[in-house]
């Protein structure tokens, strides 16, 4: 993958049971721009921030729990969704993780022991996160 640039250190989550998964959306002037501007993964008490952006992957360790935020004067807001809780993924071990780039998109996937997958995809400068059954 010569065009994919990874910044920061990707955590090794395989064999770990995540304590939380939070997706941070980006809303501009009341309109949803993307539903996963950043994804926060908590494992072994540590928060990891993942951002996919135009052929790049950014990992950062975060020392505190992520909180929704906004810049009202610019019309920006960043609401959060507890994806791990909403889909019952908290406590289920991760069995595989992968990163794929095909020139048009970047995709990060976590596969859980129950066969479900968390798929975070950046396509055309917009990132989404979804939980799907393993096919």
pLDDT digits (tens, 9 = 90+) for 79-131: 999 999 999 999 999 999 999 988 778 999 999 999 999 999 999 888 999 99
pTM of the model: 0.92
Can you read off the two tokens belonging to residue 125?
């400068």
pLDDT score, position 17 = 96
CB count within 10 Å of CB 83 equals: 24
- Residue 3 three-state SS: coil
Phi, then psi, of 32 in degrees rounded to 5: -65, 120
Under the banding of pLDDT at 50, 70 and 90, the label for residue 2 is very low
Residues pairing with 106 in the sheet: 101, 122
């Amino acid at each position: 993958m010569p065009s994919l640039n990874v910044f920061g250190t990707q955590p090794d989550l395989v064999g770990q049971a995540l304590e939380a998964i939070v997706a941070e959306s980006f809303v501009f002037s009341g309109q949803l721009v993307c539903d996963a501007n950043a994804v926060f993964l908590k494992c072994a008490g540590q928060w990891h921030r993942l951002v996919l952006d135009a052929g790049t992957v950014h990992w950062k360790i975060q020392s505190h729990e992520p909180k929704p935020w906004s810049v009202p004067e610019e019309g920006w807001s960043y609401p959060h969704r507890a994806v791990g809780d909403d889909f019952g993924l908290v406590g289920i071990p991760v069995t595989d993780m992968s990163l794929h780039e095909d020139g048009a998109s970047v995709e990060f996937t976590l596969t859980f022991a129950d066969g479900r997958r968390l798929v975070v995809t950046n396509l055309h400068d917009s990132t989404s996160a979804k939980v799907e059954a393993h096919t």
